[in-house]
Amino acid sequence: MFMVGQVEWAETHLWKSAVGRYFDRLRMYGSDSVAIQKQLANPPLREALLDIRLANKLPPECIESLSKLAIPGLEQKQQLKSGMFELEFGPVYRARAKSEEVIGWRLESTDGSRVVQVRTDGITYSILRGYKDFSEIKEAARKVWTLYLEQINASVVVARIAARYINVLEFPTVIELNDYLTAAPQIPKELPQELLTFLQRVTIAYPDGTHAVITQASEPTGQPGARFILDIDVFAIRTVDGRSQDLWTLIDNLRTVKNEVFFSSVTELALERYK
């Protein structure tokens, strides 16, 4: 057993009260109760995104067509550029731009909650605030993809799709991490058991070729309490016709894997405040 967090001893009476509530919840759920899949009323999301990448980049002449793409609700627009730099080492260190090209456009809602990238190699749709459910982001991405295809007068082959969900979980001041995360980092029992920071990443390969990159990390809060990142990046490298319904069937499969990873990584106790 090891503990995470810091105690404000000046508020001992509040700490004792918090400890009491913690053990009440622990008796209710159990320390090793893997979370049951459910729709959360208040998902702990920092960002959710869907990404579609083409097998081959569009030719440079398509940039002008992409610049005309208008997406309702996403009026703020700026260029996306890719560049190459040349480094010179010697008595004087120099970095010079060798080439630069426009590769697409970034569109953002007025409140910054929705961001879209339309590029010569595909699109990315992100929700940074106000996430509701997967159907919302899927339909929003589908609309952008449809507009994207309307600007392209050619066949489109997709080579990679991804769904990434960056979750931020906040817990009480002092916790036993294993009561909240099912795959928490472990400290050898011979060492002190107070964990201050951690970063852990694993990649899982599914039989159908889907991969899940799971990153768990602590994050400073600047105040009493513990905060952890659960970053789930699910992707599939698969060739599919960009105008086919098969593309969206594959994206639905990413959602299934994403949910399995999330709810298998946390306990019911961890999700209590997000239900």
* Residues of the chain predicted below pLDDT 50: 1-2, 5-23, 25-31
Phi, psi dihedrals of residue 165, rounded to the nearest 5°: -125, 115
* Predicted local distance difference test score (pLDDT) of residue 152: 87
Cβ–Cβ under 8 Å, residues 180 and 29: no
Distances (CA, A) of 84 to 95, 98, 256: 10, 5, 38
Q: Which of 103, 128, 151 is the last residue of a domain?
A: 151
Note whether 185 and 220 are same-domain residues.
yes
Note whether 67 and 146 are same-domain residues.
yes
Q: Residue 171 and residue 270: Cα distance in Å, rounded?
A: 7
Decide if 54 is inside a domain.
Answer: no
Note whether 199 and 128 are same-domain residues.
no
Q: Which of 151, 177, 199 is the last residue of a domain?
A: 151
Note whether 179 and 126 are same-domain residues.
no
Q: Between β-strands 3-4 and 194-195, what pairing exists: parallel, antiparallel or unpaired?
A: parallel
Note whether 117 and 249 are same-domain residues.
no
Q: Residue 221 and residue 238: Cα distance in Å, rounded?
A: 39
Note whether 131 and 189 are same-domain residues.
no
Three-class secondary structure of residue 20 per DSSP: helix
Decide if 23 is inside a domain.
Answer: yes
> How many domains does the chain contain in total?
2
Tell me which residue of 115, 120, 142, 148 sits closest to 48, measured CA to CA: 115
Q: Between β-strands 114-119 and 122-127, what pairing exists: parallel, antiparallel or unpaired?
A: antiparallel
* Predicted local distance difference test score (pLDDT) of residue 3: 53
| Predicted structure pTM score | 0.84
Decide if 260 is inside a domain.
Answer: yes
- Kindly tell me the burial class for residue 227, based on how many C-beta atoms sit within 10 Å of its own C-beta (0-12, 13-18, 19 or more): middle
Decide if 52 is inside a domain.
Answer: no
Decide if 1 is inside a domain.
Answer: yes
Decide if 2 is inside a domain.
Answer: yes
Note whether 110 and 202 are same-domain residues.
no
* Predicted local distance difference test score (pLDDT) of residue 195: 86
H-assigned helices in 109-245: 134-150
Note whether 272 and 177 are same-domain residues.
yes
Bin 209: left if φ > 0, else alpha if -120 < ψ < 50, else beta. Answer: left
Cβ–Cβ under 8 Å, residues 127 and 112: no
* Predicted local distance difference test score (pLDDT) of residue 48: 98
Note whether 175 and 274 are same-domain residues.
yes
* Predicted local distance difference test score (pLDDT) of residue 89: 67
Q: Which of 117, 151, 185 is the last residue of a domain?
A: 151
Note whether 105 and 77 are same-domain residues.
yes
Decide if 53 is inside a domain.
Answer: no
Decide if 213 is inside a domain.
Answer: yes
Note whether 63 and 168 are same-domain residues.
no
Quote the domain boundaries for residue 31: 1-47+160-275
Note whether 25 and 109 are same-domain residues.
no
* Predicted local distance difference test score (pLDDT) of residue 237: 96
Tell me which residue of 76, 130, 83, 146 sits closest to 106, measured CA to CA: 76
Beta strands in the chain, from DSSP E residues, in sequence order: 3-4, 45-54, 76-88, 94-108, 114-119, 122-127, 157-171, 175-176, 194-195, 199-205, 210-219, 226-241
